[in-house]
Structure 1
Amino acid sequence: MDTSKATGNNAPRNLTKGEATRRRILDAARKVFSENPYHAASVRMVGKAGGFDHPIIHYYFPKKAGLFECVMEEHVVEFRTFMEHWFDGLDAYTTDKGLAVFIERIIAFHIANKDLFRTLMQNTAHVENFDQFPASAQYEVFHDSFLKTFRKKVHHNASDEEVSKFVYSFTVLAANYLGASSTYARFLGMEGECDAYWDWVKETIHYLFLPRMEKIIFDSESK
């Protein structure tokens, strides 16, 4: 699997005591929110996951909503940073190979940064009033940034509507397969997350989206 541009080492160093505590809280919150829907997660759960008394969390994050928003902001920043590199060098490949490499890079990113897609999946189906949902703006940025980057990086002759449909469908399916990987692997009779499952994800997404890519996205290669 091509893991290039999948991860980076942005861990902060030389933190003050307060900064280190805030970092521990966010790390614990990332774990909790990736394993529980927002409405089911609690500050106490974050404290337990981080190994500290939950009242200290309120000092840094007075409300659970604010903590969740900070977690999602971090996720989106990481996503946008690495997403820019997923398109690097793809124009040197055929459409078939380029799509395969692109999917490999997304899977590699997920394996190294599993909290993002898991958190998205934990909450997407539970949001009834999206405008009132904490970090709703970050959810929109997640989808919008992928669409804008795709339009900027990929040569195509398709309409904005066609590209939007393609990118949105691709993103939703990939987020499902990656964010709920343990469940889908079990449905397929696999032992949880394993190389066989990641291969299945790559092959399935490639199979479903290659025809559309050849038809409307990389039209120059399909003619």
Structure 2
Amino acid sequence: MARYTDAVCRQCRREGQKLFLKGDRCYTDKCGVDRRPFAPGQHGQGRNKKLSEYGMQLREKQKARRYYGVLESQFHKYYEMATKRKGVTGENLLSILESRLDNVVYRLGFAMSRPEARQLVGHGHFLVDGKKVDIASYLVKPGQTITLKDSSRSLDKFKANLEANGSRPAPKWLDFDKNTLTAKVVALPVREDIDLPIEEHLIVELYSK
């Protein structure tokens, strides 16, 4: 599947805020947003004019895409899925994005960032209901279990990440046993479970035009 391969700090600078795509680096003085707090490109420093209604909607959609590392075609597919579910379309969209396996791995503390989680899933380190799943976009469902493979538990990468993220609680919709490194999906995520500063109604307005 296609993916973004340019410098990820450019995405944060374009949105004018930290998207936490580089793990620990985002909390240091090396963060691209802190060092160069303006949009990337030749005319980046001049992009301070007030956004139109469409511009605000577009930026919100781009921000959501970049938080979860999703390209446009797949993001639109998720929106179509959200419109077919019962409930509020914008909240359904965020619930679907939050249910991606790479996001679950990040939320559980196995990775320092969503891009790193995507890579770890792609390398086949995780099992869903006892079977290896190496597709980052796999959508987990209530009742399923996610666990780290036995052969991966001794790797320094996971030991370091789990220790660094030890104080970060798992979301309520995931029941995580830190002793067995196994999580159970107890429910679909709802808006209150998602701590990202996204105004999802603007995304719905954009796609409803």
Q: Report the TM-score when normalising by structure 2.
A: 0.26
Larger helix fraction of residues = 1
Which has the bigger relative contact order, CA under 8 A and spacing at least 6?
A: 1
Larger strand fraction of residues = 2
Q: Report the TM-score when normalising by structure 1.
A: 0.25
> For the pair shown, which has the larger CA radius of gyration, 1 or 2?
1
